[in-house]
Amino acid sequence: MVVAAISQGLCVVEPDGRHEYVALPDPMTTNVCFAPDDPRTAYATLSGTGRLVALDWPRPGLALAFNA
């Protein structure tokens, strides 16, 4: 699982509870999701600087769940 971690960038949490941080160039990473057409592309919101960035991710993420 990958979650935004304000002041830490992104936090990758493994099923056994181990975790690691991926630093991003902003003090306020507030959201992360994966591209529906390419699950190895992560989008993160850098709210401190008002940017949306795309990152190559080493393993595929899950699609965003929503009701149309």
pLDDT for the residue numbered 4: 96
pLDDT for the residue numbered 62: 84
- For the chain, the domains span 2-56
pLDDT for the residue numbered 64: 72
Statement: residue 67 has pLDDT above 80? no
C-beta of residue 44 within 8 angstroms of C-beta of residue 4: yes
End-to-end CA, the chain? 24
Contacts 24+ apart (CB under 8 A), 49-54: 49/25, 51/26, 53/24
pLDDT in tens, 17-66: 999 999 999 999 999 999 989 999 999 999 999 999 999 999 999 877 77
Q: Is the pTM of this model over 0.75?
A: yes
C-beta of residue 4 within 8 angstroms of C-beta of residue 30: yes
